[in-house]
A = this chain, B = another copy of it.
Amino acid sequence: MPKSLERLDYAALTPSASIAALTHGWRAKCLQRLIRIGLPVPQTVALPFATVRAIADGQMVDTAAILALFGTDALVSVRASSENPDWGGPGTLLNIGMTWARHAAFAASHGAEIANTLYLNFIQSYAIHVARLDPDLFEASDGSAETLRAALRAYEQEMETPFPQDPARQLAEVLRSMARAWEGTSARLLRQAKGAPMEAGLGLMVQEMVLTLGPGDCGWGMMQLVDPVTGSAQVTGRYQSKSHGGAPLETGVLFLTEDPRGPSLQERNPHLFAQLIAAAEASRVKLREEMQISFAVEDGALRVLDAVRAPRSSRAAVRIAVTLAQEGIITRPDALLRVEPRALSELLHQQIDPRGSRDRIGRGIAASPGAAQGRIVFSSRAAQASDARGEACILVRRETAPEDIRGMHAASGVVTERGGITSHAAVIARGLGLPCVVGMADVKVNLKDMTVTAADGRVFREGDMITVDGTEGTVLAGAVDLLPPAQDENFRTLLAWADDVRDIGIRANADTPADARMAHGFAAEGIGLCRSEHMFFDADRLTVMREMIFANTVSDRKIALDRLLPMQRADFTGMFEIMQGLPVCIRLFDPPLHEFLPHDRDGMRELAEALDRPLSDVIRRVEALSEFNPMLGMRGVRLGIVLPEIYDMQARAIFEATVDAGIKGAAVVPEIMIPLVSAKREVELVKTRIESVAAAVRNERGAGFDYRLGVMVETPRAALRAGEIAQYTSFLSFGTNDLTQMTYGLSRDDAGRFMNTYVQLGVFPEDPFYMLDVDGVGELLLIGAERGRRAQPDLTLSICGEHGGNTESIEFCRQAGFDYVSCSPFRVPVARLAAAQLALRSPRIS
With contacts A628-B749, A780-B720 taken as known, whether A634 is within 8 angstroms of B754 at the C-beta atoms is yes
* Inter-chain contact A632/B750, CB cutoff 8 Å: yes
Copies in the complex: 2
In the bound complex, CA of A368 to CA of B582 (Å): 56
Residues of B within 8 A of A757 (CB): 641-642
Residues of B within 8 A of A745 (CB): 631-632, 676, 678, 714-717, 738, 742
Residue-wise, chain A 734-777 has the 8 Å CB interface mask toward B (1 for contact) of: 00001001111111011101100110011110000000010111
In the bound complex, CA of A641 to CA of B715 (Å): 27
Residues of B within 8 A of A638 (CB): 754, 758
In the bound complex, CA of A544 to CA of B245 (Å): 67
Which one of A196-204, A679-687, A693-701, A803-811 contacts B?
A679-687
State whether the Cβ of A195 lies closer than 8 Å to any Cβ in chain B: no
With contacts A681-B762, A761-B641 taken as known, whether A750 is within 8 angstroms of B633 at the C-beta atoms is yes
Residue-wise, chain A 463-485 has the 8 Å CB interface mask toward B (1 for contact) of: 00000000000000000000000
* Inter-chain contact A763/B682, CB cutoff 8 Å: yes
Query: Out of B642, B678, B751, which one reaches A754, CB within 8 Å?
Result: B642
Residues of B within 8 A of A717 (CB): 743-745, 773, 776-777
Which interface residue of A717, A721, A746, A764 has the most chain B CB atoms within 10 A? A717
Query: Out of B628, B634, B775, which one reaches A631, CB within 8 Å?
Result: B628
State whether the Cβ of A214 lies closer than 8 Å to any Cβ in chain B: no
State whether the Cβ of A553 lies closer than 8 Å to any Cβ in chain B: no
List the B residue with the shortest CB-CB distance to A776: B717
List the B residue with the shortest CB-CB distance to A418: B624
Min CB gap A404→B, angstroms: 14
Residues of B within 8 A of A58 (CB): none
In the bound complex, CA of A747 to CA of B626 (Å): 13
In the bound complex, CA of A634 to CA of B685 (Å): 36
In the bound complex, CA of A632 to CA of B632 (Å): 9
Residues of B within 8 A of A758 (CB): 638, 641
* Inter-chain contact B678/A641, CB cutoff 8 Å: no
With contacts A629-B750, A631-B632, A678-B776 taken as known, whether A743 is within 8 angstroms of B716 at the C-beta atoms is yes
In the bound complex, CA of A715 to CA of B682 (Å): 23
List the B residue with the shortest CB-CB distance to A636: B745
Residue-wise, chain A 618-656 has the 8 Å CB interface mask toward B (1 for contact) of: 000000000111111110001001100000000000000
State whether the Cβ of A779 lies closer than 8 Å to any Cβ in chain B: yes
Residues of B within 8 A of A679 (CB): 763-764
With contacts A641-B761, A678-B746, A757-B642 taken as known, whether A632 is within 8 angstroms of B721 at the C-beta atoms is no
Residues of B within 8 A of A630 (CB): 628-629, 750
Min CB gap A757→B, angstroms: 5
List the B residue with the shortest CB-CB distance to A680: B763
* Inter-chain contact B720/A632, CB cutoff 8 Å: no
Residue-wise, chain A 87-115 has the 8 Å CB interface mask toward B (1 for contact) of: 00000000000000000000000000000
* Inter-chain contact B682/A779, CB cutoff 8 Å: no
In the bound complex, CA of A551 to CA of B742 (Å): 31
* Inter-chain contact B721/A634, CB cutoff 8 Å: no
Min CB gap A623→B, angstroms: 9
In the bound complex, CA of A742 to CA of B757 (Å): 23
Residues of B within 8 A of A747 (CB): 627-629, 631-633
What total of chain A residues lie within 8 Å of the partner, measured CB to CB?
48
With contacts A750-B628, A750-B634 taken as known, whether A641 is within 8 angstroms of B776 at the C-beta atoms is no
Residues of B within 8 A of A681 (CB): 761-764
Min CB gap A742→B, angstroms: 5
In the bound complex, CA of A631 to CA of B762 (Å): 23
Residues of B within 8 A of A642 (CB): 753-754, 757
* Inter-chain contact A629/B749, CB cutoff 8 Å: yes
Residues of B within 8 A of A633 (CB): 747, 750-751, 753
Min CB gap A628→B, angstroms: 4
List the B residue with the shortest CB-CB distance to A748: B632
With contacts A678-B776, A685-B761, A721-B776 taken as known, whether A634 is within 8 angstroms of B716 at the C-beta atoms is no
In the bound complex, CA of A679 to CA of B754 (Å): 14
Min CB gap A635→B, angstroms: 9
Min CB gap A354→B, angstroms: 36
Residues of B within 8 A of A716 (CB): 716, 742-743, 745, 776, 780
Residues of B within 8 A of A628 (CB): 630-631, 747, 749-750
Min CB gap A812→B, angstroms: 16
* Inter-chain contact A744/B715, CB cutoff 8 Å: yes
Min CB gap A705→B, angstroms: 29
In the bound complex, CA of A631 to CA of B628 (Å): 8
List the B residue with the shortest CB-CB distance to A683: B763
Which interface residue of A681, A682, A721, A763 has the most chain B CB atoms within 10 A? A763
Residue-wise, chain A 149-191 has the 8 Å CB interface mask toward B (1 for contact) of: 0000000000000000000000000000000000000000000
Residues of B within 8 A of A682 (CB): 763
With contacts A679-B763, A750-B628, A780-B720 taken as known, whether A715 is within 8 angstroms of B743 at the C-beta atoms is yes
In the bound complex, CA of A194 to CA of B490 (Å): 73
In the bound complex, CA of A638 to CA of B759 (Å): 12
Residues of B within 8 A of A754 (CB): 634, 638, 641-642
* Inter-chain contact B714/A750, CB cutoff 8 Å: no
In the bound complex, CA of A751 to CA of B628 (Å): 10
Residues of B within 8 A of A627 (CB): 747, 749-750
Min CB gap A70→B, angstroms: 52
Residue-wise, chain A 693-731 has the 8 Å CB interface mask toward B (1 for contact) of: 000000000000000000000111100110000000000
List the B residue with the shortest CB-CB distance to A752: B634
Min CB gap A750→B, angstroms: 4
In the bound complex, CA of A638 to CA of B773 (Å): 18
In the bound complex, CA of A758 to CA of B677 (Å): 13
Residue-wise, chain A 554-583 has the 8 Å CB interface mask toward B (1 for contact) of: 000000000000000000000000000000
In the bound complex, CA of A720 to CA of B780 (Å): 9
In the bound complex, CA of A758 to CA of B721 (Å): 18
Min CB gap A417→B, angstroms: 10
Residues of B within 8 A of A751 (CB): 633
Residues of B within 8 A of A714 (CB): 745
Min CB gap A132→B, angstroms: 33
In the bound complex, CA of A69 to CA of B4 (Å): 114
List the B residue with the shortest CB-CB distance to A740: B717
With contacts A721-B776, A750-B627, A761-B641 taken as known, whether A678 is within 8 angstroms of B744 at the C-beta atoms is yes
Residues of B within 8 A of A743 (CB): 678, 715-717, 720, 742
List the B residue with the shortest CB-CB distance to A681: B763
List the B residue with the shortest CB-CB distance to A678: B744
Residues of B within 8 A of A779 (CB): 720
Give A contacts to B, CB under 8 Å. 627-634, 638, 641-642, 676, 678-679, 681-682, 685, 714-717, 720-721, 738, 741-747, 749-751, 753-754, 757-758, 761-764, 773, 775-777, 779-780
Query: Which 5 pairs show the lowest CB-CB distances between chains A and B?
Result: A632-B747, A629-B747, A633-B750, A717-B776, A715-B745
> What are 12 A-B interface contacts by the 8 Å CB criterion?
A628-B630, A628-B750, A632-B746, A633-B747, A633-B751, A641-B761, A642-B753, A678-B744, A685-B761, A717-B744, A742-B743, A742-B745
Given A681-B764, A720-B743, A720-B776, 6 more contacts at CB 8 Å?
Answer: A628-B750, A629-B747, A630-B750, A676-B745, A717-B773, A721-B775
